[in-house]
Amino acid sequence: MYRPDRQGIRSLATSDAGFGARPVTDQNASTEALSSEQHFRHIVDSIPGLIFTYDPHGCTEFVNRQLLEYFGCSFEELQRWEGADIVHPDDIERVTVAWRQNIAAGTAHSYEERLRRADGVYRWFQLRCAPAFDASGGIVRWYGCLTDIDELKRADDAAREDLRSLSLLIDSIPGLVFTTRANGEIEWINRTIMAYFGRTLEDLQSWRMIDAVHPDDLQITIDQWQAGTTSGKPYEFEQRLRRHDGVYRWFHYRASPLYDSQGKLVRWYGLVTDIDDLKRAQHEARRGEQQLRLMLDTIPGSVFTLTPKGEMEQVNRHTLDFFGKTFDELRDWRTVTHPDDVDAVTRWLEHALTTGEPWESTSRALRADGAYRWFQTRGLPLQDSDGHIVRWYCVNVDIDDLKLAQEDARRNERHLRLILDNIPGYAFTLTPAGEIEQLNQQILDYFGASFEELRDWARVTHPDDLERARRRLGHAIATGTLWQNEARALRADGVYRWFQTRGLPLRDSDGQILRWYCLLIDIEELKRAEEGARSIQARLARASQLAAVSELAASIAHEVNQPLAAVIANGHACHRWIAAEPPNVERALASVQRTIRDANSAAEIVSRIRALFRHAAPSKQLLNLNEVIEEVGRVIADDLLSRGVSLRLELQSDLPAAPADRVQVQQVVANLARNGMDAMDTIDDRAKELTITTSFAAGDIIVAICDAGIGVEVDESVFEPFVTTKPSGMGMGLAICKSILDAHDGRLWVTRNSNHGVTFSFALPAAK
């Protein structure tokens, strides 16, 4: 029902990761390739999300089963999404333009769109797509997912309507309401303030510089404002403010702080109350109190006040309705508090009354219908001018739904932990920095150690594999790419077994890594099978080397003939100097020395050729790869000339040395160079040019062989044994090259050139 994506699945299964281990290479992964591919495709198809990939040009390459089932159409129809009715007509132009721009720019992108479900219903989705790069920085694939945000969209619309209603409510409050930033700068004012002063928000933000405050009160107001803001505690004072008609009236200013969950002051909420009439007459004060009471009863929340001793003073209508009791019945709040919470609430209240600090507690309260619900109670003290508490203003916030959600989250966490510990495999998580965060029970049982002991995973990793494991883990953490590695791990009974480690990063909405989810897979039996496969491949490589003798014969003869001809010439010269009368011993001795030098040169050539064809272990030494490439250039010079191919060397002069076997590296360079020449044999419409370059980056020496030939399929299959495009080829050359580079901890890859031909590149780690 979906299009296979062999390359995409393989890329997941073979990238570096590890609890300490060696990379899984293509040639040694032949046994596990099918099972790994099926396993990862099952994972992708089981993810409750819509997953897809594009090729570098933005063409749909792969979709998972969930996506096909959602749209109810074929893969081919999804490839033509721009012309189909998959995207909502109102969104198609915007989405198409954004998609093309992002593909052209090569950047990760995210946007929202409405997509048509199989039943014809359009739902909102968020599309996220990010590119994957090869070692040279080129995009090799786009990975994307579609997230259903339809319910979130509806919730946002509802929230905006609620916000509009709330704003209308606040603007209707018969009071001057405003907010300031943590430093006291005015941030927002309601319409009542603007109407009173006849000024805009921008005008009132500079209230110190205008006549909004009575001149006699200005300095006192500034001092009180600054002192209150600095204290971080609720504060109040009185001042005269100038109305839009020029009349000054007395106001009472109150401000309360808002702190975030970390205790940081983020905002002040202020209320400026007109007390001019209160100053003039007690009657007007009582009317103002009635208005305040009306506002209190209108608030859709449980609000009440306490005396300085903590006794119930007054409650709003909502509180009476919620509990279904009279004010006198609620004076003893213990009657509506859950018995198990009474002592805790008492301690919190007594602490607040003693210290004068804001009061906050959580408890269960008995609703009128007999159900207990969780509430968070907050209280702020009101102080007089002498700093004495005259009243406590309190509010009850219903948090029952939040409590239930938290309990569900804890239950889910326990359930997931139970699943993790009972998975018949070895799973663990790492912090973003690569430190062990969690281990399942299977790992603890396997290693026979505690969590604290296994936090230093080096103690159970084979010493020979440790450095490579650390290097690959560091690379994965630094780049945020898939982590994969192989290493031997010490079982509780003292036996080392081969394990493959794989790790994937979990990212937040901003792309930051939150943690790594990792899995250990026992591959001991697979390793043993691979050893047998490598033995067979080594014999095949030997056969391929012998088959290459005929191709190298002309170059070998040319290179050996030169020192041999010199030996003969020097021999004749020596004979003439000895036969002379009198014999010229000095000249004869010089001829003998030149004969020895040329004979040694011929012996070295023969020795290198013999090493190519004997089954000898690699002999590593520090090599200057520029010199190795120049040697190969001399060996293939005649072949280049006969084929009409020009060789261009672009070698970095300050290239560091690499620990490697000279003969084997020569074999790799020669094989790749001859492949390039073969690819240009049939072309006649452009110059036949072979370019070899060297460079150094990220601790690796990189060699690139670029041709202008007919090209090959640019995928991993070209490195598999017996895969060839040559009519008479054995298909072993590239497989041998990859085997040699794997043995040197190197890499081999191929990329398509922008004009003609391909570039084969390999990397070897530089000497430390």
Transcribe 462-506 into DSSP letters.
-HHHHHHHHHHHHHHHHHTPPEEEEEEEE-TTS-EEEEEEEEEEE
> Looking at beta carbons, which pairs linking 133-139 to residues 24 or more positions away fall under 8 Å?
134/749, 134/751, 135/747, 135/749, 135/761, 135/763, 136/751, 136/761, 138/56, 138/751, 139/56, 139/106
Can you say how many angstroms the Cα of residue 166 is from the centroid of all Cα atoms in its chain? 39
Q: Are 762 and 703 in contact (CB under 8 A)?
A: yes
- In DSSP notation, 325-389 reads --HHHHTSGGGGB-GGGHHHHHHHHHHHHHH---EEEEEEEE-TTS-EEEEEEEEEEEE-TTS-E
3-state SS track over 28-53: CCCCCHHHHHHHHHHHHHHCCCEEEE
User: CA 22, CA 263: separation in Å to the nearest integer?
Assistant: 48
Q: What is the number of other CB atoms lying within 10 angstroms of the CB of residue 753? A: 13
Query: What are the Cα distances from residue 624, in Å, to 42, 553, 654, 668, 736?
Result: 47, 26, 10, 15, 22
SS3 per-residue string spanning 141-182: EEEEEEEECHHHHHHHHHHHHHHHHHHHHHHHCCCEEEEEEC
Note the pLDDT of residue 165: 66
Q: Note the pLDDT of residue 327.
A: 85
Query: What was the pLDDT predicted at 624?
Result: 92
Q: How confident is the model at residue 339 (pLDDT cuts 50, 70, 90)?
A: very high
What is the CATH class of 158-402? alpha beta
Residue 730: is its pLDDT beyond 60? no
DSSP 58: S
Provide the 10 A C-beta neighbour count for residue 746: 22
Taking the CA atoms of 93, 99, 103 and 105 in sequence, report the sign of the dihedral they define.
positive
Confidence of residue 550 (pLDDT cuts 50, 70, 90): very low
pLDDT (0 to 100) of residue 7? 38
- Does the fold of domain 426-526 match that of domain 158-402? yes
Amino acid in position 365: A
Architecture of domain 6-150: 2-Layer Sandwich (3.30)
CA angle 517, 482, 54 (to 5 degrees): 115
| pLDDT beyond 60 at 438 | yes
Chain centroid offset of residue 268 CA:
37
- Of 160-169, 367-376, 553-562, least confident by mean pLDDT is 553-562
CA 407 to chain centroid: 30
485 in Cβ contact with 521 (< 8 Å): no
Q: Are 396 and 377 in contact (CB under 8 A)?
A: yes
Instruction: Calculate ∠ Cα 712-718-721, nearest 5°.
Output: 140
Ranges 34-48, 551-565, 663-677: which has the least confidence: 551-565
625, 766 Cβ separation under 8 angstroms: no
Contact status, residue 753 vs residue 747, Cβ threshold 8 Å: no
Mean pLDDT, residues 515-530 taken together: 83
Question: Would you tell me the crossing angle of helices 662-679 and 625-635 to the nearest 10 degrees?
Answer: 50
How confident is residue 657, by pLDDT bands cut at 50, 70 and 90? Answer: very high
Q: Tell me the pLDDT band of 649, cut-offs 50, 70 and 90.
A: very high
pLDDT in tens, 87-131: 999 988 898 898 888 888 888 888 899 999 989 899 999 899 999
* Closest to 671 measured CA to CA, from 619, 764, 741: 741
Termini Cα distance of the chain:
51
Tokens 């309705």 belong to residue: 321
Q: Find the mean pLDDT for residues 147-164.
A: 77
**Continuous segment of H or E residues that includes residue 438:** strand 436-439
- pLDDT higher than threshold 60 for residue 729: no
What's the burial of 268, exposed, middle or buried (CB within 10 Å: 0-12/13-18/19+)?
Answer: buried
Q: Which span out of 34-48, 529-543, 552-566, 646-660 was modeled with the highest average pLDDT? A: 646-660
Residues 6+ apart with CB under 8 A from 421: 440, 441, 442
Q: Give Cα separations from 113 to 93, 130, 366 (angstroms).
A: 11, 17, 46
For residues 353 and 32, what is the distance between their CA atoms, to the nearest angstrom?
70
What's the chain's length in residues? 768
Mean confidence (pLDDT) of the chain: 80
Q: How many CA atoms lie within 13 A of 269 on its CB side?
A: 7
pLDDT of residue 14: 35
582: left (phi over 0), alpha (psi -120 to 50) or beta: beta
Structure tokens at 407: 């309990």
Q: Which residue has the tokens 């056969």?
A: 543
pLDDT value of position 418:
66
Half-sphere exposure of residue 340: CA atoms within 13 angstroms, side-chain side: 4
Q: Containing H/E element for 591?
A: helix 585-613
- Which of 93, 95, 124 lies closest to 110, judged by CA? 95
Judged on CB neighbours under 10 Å (0-12, 13-18, 19+), 710 is: middle
Per-residue confidence (pLDDT) for residue 184, from 0 to 100 = 83
Return the structure tokens found at 369.
């219908």
Task: Please tell me the distance from the alpha carbon of residue 338 to that of residue 345, in angstroms, as a whole number.
Answer: 10
Query: For residue 6, what are the contacts with CB-CB under 8 A and spacing of at least 6?
Result: 37
Total Cβ atoms within 10 A of residue 750: 19
Give the CA-trace dihedral at 25, 28, 31, 34, to 10 degrees.
20
Task: Kindly state the average pLDDT of the residues 334-356.
Answer: 90
Write out pLDDT tens, residues 252-294: 888 899 898 888 888 888 888 888 887 776 555 466 566 666 6
Report pLDDT for 609.
Answer: 54
List strands edge to edge, sheet with 483-490: 436-439, 426-430, 513-522, 496-507, 483-490
Domain range summary for the chain, segments of one domain joined by +: 6-150, 158-402, 426-526, 527-616, 619-768
Residue 123 has a pLDDT of 92
Give the residue among 710, 643, 632 at the shortest CA–CA distance from 672: 632
Residue 291 or 324, more confident: 324
- Specify whether the CB–CB gap between 119 and 94 falls below 8 A: no
Q: Which amino acid is at 552?
A: L
Mean pLDDT of 219-238: 88
498 CB-contact burial (10 Å; exposed 0-12 / middle 13-18 / buried 19+): buried
Radius of gyration of the chain (CA): 40
CATH architecture of 619-768: 2-Layer Sandwich (3.30)
Q: Which CATH class is domain 426-526?
A: alpha beta
pLDDT tens digits for range 303-318: 888 899 888 888 888 8
Question: From CA 761, how far away is CA 676, in angstroms rounded?
Answer: 12
Tell me the pTM: 0.29
pLDDT tens-digit map of 682-724: 888 888 899 999 999 888 999 999 998 887 766 666 666 555 5
* C-alpha span between 225 and 381 (Å, rounded): 18
**What DSSP assignment string belongs to 727-743?**
TT--S-HHHHHHHHHHH
Q: Which helix (H) or strand (E) holds 76?
A: helix 75-79
Give the relative orientation of helices 662-679 and 733-743 as an angle to the nearest 10 degrees. Answer: 150
